[in-house]
Structure 1
């Protein structure tokens, strides 16, 4: 059996990549070889800091010493509910990320108070921005804001962002490169607001609407009206009926459809009705159904036989999906 000393650098780097940031730094003290490997830029492409309540001084040290030009994606926590003495994300830190990390493309912020952080301070190189349980300023996503902000942004995830509402949805048109939108638990978005917003976002290719107060039927109606180029669609089934699903028939570009439970109403389409609608979606290649309460393998067999050109996935609702209904 090979010892650690006999393992090639590539294998050790793969092992080190699974370690939390703090442990990566600690093992750099073991020997000169490990110190060299911990300094390898490959190891710092993806960094997750959400497990730490990190002091600003430590964050700045990591930024200067390890991340800098190596960083591709970063996950950070803002400690919104940890008390006034907890470190908060600042405009200075966001600007420093943009200046010192020119290759940063994905930023995921969790439980952060961003009400005093201008959106213009975020790194201009971002292609993906995820906000999970964050507080944002009402000015962040208004349509009249500067259109030069985040010029490369292709995907935005808004997961339980209380301030997000109809006017912000229409304001997303300022991001010219945007092609993917995820709305999770955005309870202030109305059916009228969604319809008006998607009309202006007709170029979207991926849309997810999860755990919102909107009915699935109203969401699908807005999609069929305005998102003719949508390729991937994922939504929870609250308020879904067979006629509501039927509005997707003939959608010219739809390749992937995912319907998630666990709320199933009497109006919920049967497997036979889902099959009939999917047969009228010419480009559909992936059908995923989660947590719909179907017992046994018969629904999956029916759909797989009827849709031989599709990958059909039928499974129980994963634990993380339950969060949308908590």
Structure 2
């Protein structure tokens, strides 16, 4: 009797098994592809949440992909804060983005690449008119490294609603035959301006301080690297005496201001941050070494003090003469620093006689810069330990002090002893902790 072999017991050919496996893998891969979501399957809210992290230049590229993304790019929530500074942008390219600006746009920032004689870098009056028409609630306008024709574009062409204006690195040839400041009547046209940045604006002149000081709400003023801002005692004195009532941050780094100008700002009682740094063109290492040697010789002599019941006379035979050491008048010394945080008496005349005798009565004490918190004084070799002792005694709210590149030393035992006493007194009576950064001059 013959028994038939069941098919189920027969071995399956290897070729058919491989074929089934390949088909199974194809089906699996296909299911994976279909299950992965496409970016266009996201809702509009999700897409907008993703698009808000892109730069305006990237948004323009995405808008060219499809009709739906082009509509989403025009959503006003993406254009509240517009910053084109990721790369230099010519004016012709900038005009392509004007259609995206919205009335809700609060901030607009752009950066050019100034090339002399290149017309595409010149901001036109039409551009400012479009910005004012499209962004009627603009609060922040940042224009960097563009050319502005001051004879055609006035300060009134800028949006009057802005609270922060930056013209960093811009170039301008303004009214070469006129002495009127470019910022004339700026205080009336921009009453809400709180921040003005004019860094590296070589066209800025000292007499513009008078106009800027009248801005009623100005809190931050940056004039660093304005090299024409030199000897301007008269302008600085008038500006600080009658203006700058709300100024808190003042940046005067890389300018040729001296003791007199800095001393004028001591009357600005709202000042909290002051930045000073000597221009690189005025630094002289050889003069610094000579002055340091003379100071060391003077301390080693320990010259006596003579008194004649009226006047105390100090004889310093080898005292350093700063004018002969190659330093110019614009270098800041201890005199400017000691004007900060000092006390003065408000006196009034209560009696005067024909013989020329005048009797004065102290009314109240006036403390200059009582709110000074940050002070940076860099690369001024005429600033010594005396300035730090003065600040420790008079600037009770000082939190940060940078004296890089000055004549401040850590080796002066008398200075360290004085500073320990001063800091202890401040901690004890004013309950204020002062952090001071001591950095030695490094060549």
Quickly name the TM-score band, shorter chain normalised.
0.7 to 0.9
8 Å contact from structure 2 (residues 225, 253) kept in 1? yes
Report the counterpart of residue 334 of structure 2 in structure 1.
242
| Matching residue of 1:212 | 255
**Closer/same/farther in 2, CA of residues 28 and 235 from structure 1, 3 Å limit:** same
State the Cα deviation string for residues 188-241 of structure 1 (Å, max 9, x = none).
Answer: 2323132233223241422221110112x33431111x3123233222257343
Partner of 2:33: none
Structure 1 window deviating more from structure 2 (67-76 vs 229-238): it is: 229-238
Structure-2 separation of matches of 1:188 and 1:291:
24
Q: Is the 8 A contact 1:102 1:125 kept in 2?
A: yes
Q: Given the two structures, how large is their TM-score scaled by the length of structure 1? A: 0.75
| Corresponding residue number in structure 1 for 2:400 | 287
Per-residue Cα deviation, 1:68-92 (whole angstroms, up to 9, x for no partner)? 2232222223543253342421112
Is the 8 Å Cα contact of residues 168 and 200 (structure 2) preserved in structure 1? yes
1:247 is displaced (CA, Å) by 1.5
Distance in 1 (CA, whole Å) between partners of 2:256 and 2:46 is 47
Asked if the contact 1:53/1:86 (under 8 Å) is kept, the reply is no
Q: Could you say which structure has the larger radius of gyration?
A: 2
- CA shift, 1:256, in A, is 2.2
Unaligned runs of 5+ in 1: 317-326
How do 1:194-273 residues align onto structure 2 when only pairs under 5 Å count? 194-206=236-248, 207-215=250-258, 217-224=259-266, 226-236=267-277, 239-249=331-341, 250-261=367-378, 263-265=379-381, 267-270=382-385, 273=387
> Deviations 1:141-172 (Å, cap 9, x if unpaired)?
35764753222212211112222212211122
Contact 1:240 1:269 in 2 (8 A): no
Q: Give the Cα separation in 1 of the matches to 2:194 and 2:59.
A: 31
**1:44 match:** 79
Name the counterpart of 1:125. 161
> Which residue of the partner structure matches residue 117 of structure 2?
83
Residues 78 and 88, structure 1, Cα contact 8 Å, conserved in 2: no
Match of 1:21 in 2: 56
**Paired residues, what number?**
304
**In structure 2, distance between residues paired with 1:89 and 1:210:** 28
Structure-2 change in CA distance of 1:84 and 1:220 (3 Å): closer
* 2:167 is the alignment partner of 1:54: no
CA contact (8 A) 2:106 2:137 kept: yes
Distance 1:34 1:310 in 2: 55
Distance across 2 between alignment mates of 1:15 and 1:288: 43
1:86/1:211 Cα in 2 relative to 1: closer, same or farther (>3 Å)? same
Give unmatched runs, 5+ long, in structure 2: 1-35, 280-330, 342-366
Q: Which moved more, 1:233-242 or 1:104-113?
A: 233-242
Q: Match for residue 320 of structure 1?
A: none
